[in-house]
Structure 1
């Protein structure tokens, strides 16, 4: 029994188990979302922790770490990403297409037969990364779809993907978010 406790003592916030348990603390999770998005959220509801979504029995499913909705019906998926996965055969990084697939699966799970597309909820897929995927030292990389011919035109599909680079040095974040990043990186406050 003593060995189990000593193993738990070594867990850090980057551990999937601990990350989920911390994010399941409503006050903490709500505060993190408010700080990241610079908005006030009245309340959040946990839709399902570690939810598995499979469209067909033989399709590639996904398992979400933490899935939340707020009172405005915006949906959030929070993920901890410790490693930067690479396809060994092609050498391509998998994270961008993983976010695309997660977005598609979330949308598929959201609409029922007969519902209009405008009933899709706004979504945020947020990856806490212990590496700088884009190698630009930004603390936060936020993606929305834009027109290549005129970057002022945004496709208003209300889908946002955020990569949080806990090692980043560029861009402003609140002191609380920086403390969270520091804690994830060093496990000290």
Structure 2
């Protein structure tokens, strides 16, 4: 085994983009993660290969609604809003569908740093009227920022599993009583490290 591979194995972190996409890109793990995050029950999930992002087509069990879910690992938080716009534009151009056939769309950015400095583990955006935030445009496009740098007192803004997931990605620490989502991610991470570095 050459020195570069040994270093790759010893220094590997789940927060590194390569490993993050390798592990979270597995359909079974993505299914569990998306279910916990969006509070839905997924009937089926299909991965589409993309550069620097993971995209899934998801069939949800409530009246067989279809979702498009993209997951991105973001280290540079400059112009975050325009990044969201860029990926939404790409998705809409790729759809080749009449607008009434558009699926519900979620773009999820996982960030190391809290770009808004509020300490929230999650920031969810949708199109609402400036004049009255109760009025939604109902275009079914949602942008979600998951923040690893959240303040513990705000952990209840997400499910316990998602809070554990964010802490695990930040620290790499697995506990005996960690939730199944984190345990499965850690096991897959360890398994893939062995495959890649053999």
Equivalence for 1:11: 12
TM-score, reference length from structure 1 = 0.82
1:127 to 109, 127, 131: 109
Tell me the matched-pair count: 165
Cα deviation for residue 175 of structure 1 reads: 2.2
Structure 1 residue runs of 4+, over 3 Å off? none
Moved more, 144-153 or 169-178: 169-178
Higher helix content, 1 or 2:
2
Please list every run of 5 or more consecutive structure 2 residues that lacks an aligned counterpart in the other structure. Answer: 60-64, 175-198
Cα deviation for residue 116 of structure 1 reads: 1.9
Equivalence for 1:161: 143
Equivalence for 1:61: none
2:91 to 106, 120, 124: 106
Q: Secondary structure at the match of 1:125?
A: strand
Cα deviation for residue 82 of structure 1 reads: 2.3
1:151 to 133, 153, 160: 133
TM-score, reference length from structure 2 = 0.78
Counterpart Cα distance in 1 of 2:88 and 2:141? 8
Counterpart Cα distance in 2 of 1:12 and 1:121? 34
1:176 to 132, 151, 161: 161
Counterpart Cα distance in 2 of 1:184 and 1:83? 17
Within 5 A, what are the aligned runs for 1:7-156?
A: 7-50=8-51, 64-71=52-59, 72-84=65-77, 93-111=78-96, 115-156=97-138
Kindly indicate whether structure 1 or structure 2 has the higher relative contact order, using CA contacts under 8 Å at least 6 residues apart.
2
Over aligned residue pairs, what C-alpha RMSD do you find? 1.4
Write out per-residue CA displacement over residues 31-70 of structure 1, whole angstroms, 9 at most, x where no aligned residue. 11111111111121002242xxxxxxxxxxxxx4101011
Counterpart Cα distance in 1 of 2:6 and 2:57? 33
